[in-house]
Amino acid sequence: MEEKSEFLSRISCYVHDWLISNDYATGTAQKINLLINFLVLTTIVLLVDFILRSVVIKFFYAFTNKSQTTFDDYLVKSNFPKYVARIFPVILIKHLIPYVFTDFHELELFFLKVIDIYIILLVVYILRSIVRSVKNYLRTTDRFYDKPLDSYAQVVIIFIWFFGLIFAFSELTGLSILKFLTTLGAASAILLLIFKDTILGFVASIQTSANDMVRIGDWITMEKYGADGDVIEINLATVKVRNFDYTITTIPTYALISDSFKNWRGMQESGGRRVKRCIYIKASSVKFLTEEDLAKYQTIQAVQQYIDHRQKDIKKHNQEHGFDKSLNIVNGRNQTNLGIFRKYCDLYLQNHPATNKDMLMMTRHLAPTSEGIPIEIYVFSSDKRWENYERIMADIFEHIIAAVPHFDLEIFESPSGSDLKELIIHNRTNPKKA
């Protein structure tokens, strides 16, 4: 080892000794010697770096092509081989710097510090590429593909940079790491203020993951931020949502736990997608049914059996309680056209091929409004895909709306311009009736 050091020392001083022997001034000889040594070192390091990068990168590519796992592919994509290949040239530079700056101790110390900081940064980049490779690899697995891996990776990278900068600062100032951390603790309030959004985002990422509130691929709706689409990315600061019009909405990650949002995952995992919509029946079109009306409605096969069974129960009840229908139809129990229509809707939904028979389905009354009596259809379509869902819902309501007049009912509709025009014409042609 000593012989090697003596050999390197003789080589590094060769130009200096030759210049001195040729009557050059000592200062001039030292500077020329430094310049030549620096150029030689730079040439050697660049050459070694080029050779090592070529060899290491080719080795990695050859290894990844033969290996069955995809993790090494992500290492290559994150430039891990390139960073690893630079380790040896840096170590070589640090070892040769004392010989290059033989007569310049201050420059030697300066460049040694620069090299130490570069080594720290190189380690940071190597660790960062490993973290990114792990994140990208886990995203290909079934267990972690929908987890907020970007948030966790960003937190780990922040900590890596934090400790890397601490080591670099300690190297520059000469302070111990423990003393630096103690000083940093006194400024924790300022740090908390600076990294408030980062801390909130990290906490939100943990809570959303632990409580399984949202995953990548979930369809969420958040009206406050105009988001209505699929989650495509969850990172430390924002959640990216691709809306159905292919625009991208970014939501602060912390908003997922501080604000309300709707996650449609439950619907997607269930057996159907809910249809919940009303039609408004004109109240004046609702009536008790006479025997003639019942005979007319019995021609509708879907409710024929229901009308017979229901009418027998009603007649039996009225006879037992002595209700005389000949005096007034309102006496006792009666069937109504709206009741039979509601039963018809129930039977139609039960027989529809696109409804889920294992989930709740019903036709119900809501409180009457100034626009009529709301009859709500509540059913689940078996096909949850948006396009097919809309078609199923349209098919159901097209049939129900078209069936309304067959029960002597009317759908409430605000008068249009043509309606008013017909009314005016009618009043003009029939002034006495108007």
Q: How many CB atoms lie within 10 A of CB 11?
A: 12
pLDDT value at position 420?
66
Other CB atoms within 10 Å distance of the CB of residue 346: 18
How high is the pLDDT of residue 6? 58
Per-residue pLDDT of the chain (434 residues; tens, 9 = 90+): 555 565 555 555 655 556 666 656 666 666 666 677 677 777 777 787 777 777 777 777 776 667 666 777 777 777 787 887 778 878 877 777 776 667 667 777 777 788 888 888 888 888 888 888 888 888 788 777 767 777 778 778 878 888 888 888 777 777 777 766 666 665 666 666 666 777 777 777 777 776 778 888 888 999 888 899 999 888 777 889 999 888 999 988 888 888 888 888 888 778 889 999 999 999 999 999 988 999 999 999 999 999 999 999 988 888 888 887 777 888 888 999 999 999 999 999 999 999 999 999 999 999 999 889 999 999 999 998 888 999 999 999 999 999 999 999 999 887 766 666 666 776 677 665 54
Look up residue 389 and give its two tokens.
């869902």
- The Cα 206–Cα 245 span in angstroms is 30
Angle at 194 between CA 193 and CA 199, to 5 degrees: 80
Q: Residue 7: phi, psi to the nearest 5? A: -65, -45
Separation between Cα atoms, residue 307 and residue 301, nearest integer Å: 10
Q: How far is CA 52 from CA 87, 119, 382, in A?
A: 10, 17, 61
What was the pLDDT predicted at 19?
Answer: 60
Closest CA to 147 of 205, 66, 75, 80: 205
B/e letters for 237-276, b = 16+ CB within 10 Å, e = fewer, are: bbbbbeeeeeeebebbbbbbbeeebebebeeeeeebbbbe
Q: Under DSSP, is residue 335 helix (H, G, I), strand (E, B) or coil? A: coil
pLDDT at residue 56 in the model: 73
Q: Which single residue is written with the structure tokens 């940093």?
A: 184
Count the Cβ atoms, other than its own, within 10 Å of residue 328: 10
Q: How confident is the model at residue 33, as a pLDDT?
A: 65
DSSP per-residue codes, 274-288: EEEEEEEE-GGG--B
Q: What are phi and psi of 249, to 5 degrees?
A: -110, 130
Report helix, strand or coil for 42: helix
Dihedrals phi, psi of 233, to nearest 5 degrees = -160, 135
pLDDT of residue 103: 65
Q: Could you give the CA distance from residue 260 to residue 258 in angstroms, rounded to a whole number? A: 7
pLDDT of residue 353: 93
Delineate the domains of the chain, giving CATH numbers in brackets.
Answer: 2-145 (no CATH), 147-153+168-269 (2.30.30.60), 274-287+336-420 (3.30.70.100)
Residue 249's beta-bridge partner residues? 241
Query: Cα–Cα distance between 357 and 344 in angstroms, integer?
Result: 16
Strand, coil or helix: what is 385?
coil
Residue whose entry in the numeric block shows the structure tokens 């632990």: 210
